Each structure stands twice: as C-alpha cells, then as structure tokens.
Amino acid sequence: MLLRPFARLISKAGDSVTTYGEPWNMN
C-alpha cells in the first residue's frame, strides 16, 4: 500500500477522496 501515508492525509482532510470523485486504489 504505497498510498498508506497519503490515505492518512485524506482521512485528516475529511475523506477528500469523495471530493475528488476518483476511484482511489487504496484497497
């Protein structure tokens, strides 16, 4: 999971993934 450190940032921002609307491969 290379996006592990990045995912943490998203969680802090409040699920920024939803805002982007792009399918992040964090699975």
Q: Which tens digits make up the pLDDT trace of 1-27?
A: 455 556 566 665 555 555 555 656 655
Asked if 23 and 3 touch (Cβ cutoff 8 Å), the reply is no
Domain count, the chain: 1
Asked if 27 and 1 touch (Cβ cutoff 8 Å), the reply is no
**pLDDT of the residue at 8:** 62
pTM above 0.85, yes or no: no
Residue type, 1: M
Asked if 24 and 4 touch (Cβ cutoff 8 Å), the reply is no
**pLDDT of the residue at 17:** 54
**pLDDT of the residue at 4:** 59
- Angstrom distances, CA of residue 2 to CA of 15, 17: 18, 16
* Structural domain for 14, as ranges: 1-27
